[in-house]
Amino acid sequence: MKALVTGGEGGIGRALRARLEQEGCDVESLDVANGFDVTSPDAWKRVGPVDVACLNAGVLTGDLSYENYRRAVSVNVDGVVLGVLHLREVMDAGAIVATASLAGLTGMPSDPVYSLTKHAVVGFVRSMAPLVEPIRLNAVCPGITDTPMIDGQRADLAATGFPLVLPSDVAEAMWRAVSGGGTGECWFVQPGREPAPFTFPNLPGPRVDGERVGAPPINGT
């Protein structure tokens, strides 16, 4: 199998690559360190078909300047959306997995823009999955993961005994999402727990001939 990993030179990216290689995949790392810009449509046009794609590139925001806000949205959201839109044109089947975060399922006051971007990834994956079939589209949602990205928070986390997710835990969840049969799933990854798809409540839709179908209308009637 042929695979790609964006952000493949980071802590989670290297773990994803190692897990895919363990399964016999020929893995290509697409990373800013080797000249690949996930926010560029032109860069994506040079990417060919693969069996597995891990859209993993991501950044924290830092201070809430406009420049940092735009960078976080560009990498964390555009990098996923552009990847999926291109890959659906070149893949006939296979699996795409986006790295989201528990910050995409709950609030993260320490970095609200990061949380915004990961909520966007979760919403996009769940909404887009039916539109890219037979490609399967899922996300992994890890807690705070032990990578260089958290070096600035590491002392505080250690002082409070906060448990960290290992990059290998994220990679295992990714592989389960790839090798399972589901689509539109968001895999919950926490320390000491088996990764599993997060269960979302089913919202009731509008009534047609007494039956509820589809999504609720905007006006709620």
- The residues carrying an active-site annotation are 114
Helices vs strands, H then E, count in the chain: 7, 9
Amino acid of residue 159 = A
**109: helix, coil or strand?**
coil
- Residue 50 CA to residue 133 CA, distance in Å, equals 15
Burial 168-206 (b: 16+ CB within 10 A, else e): ebbbbbbbbbbeeeebbbbbbbbeeeebebbeeeeeeee
- With contact defined as beta carbons under 8 Å apart, do 148 and 15 qualify? no
- Which residues pair with residue 55 across a beta bridge? 98
- Residue 182 CA to residue 133 CA, distance in Å, equals 11
Residue 55: HSE in the Cβ half-sphere, 13 Å Cα cutoff = 31
- Residue 94 CA to residue 50 CA, distance in Å, equals 8
**93: helix, coil or strand?**
coil
- Between the alpha carbon of residue 166 and those of residues 21, 67, 113, 144, the distances in Å are 18, 30, 23, 9
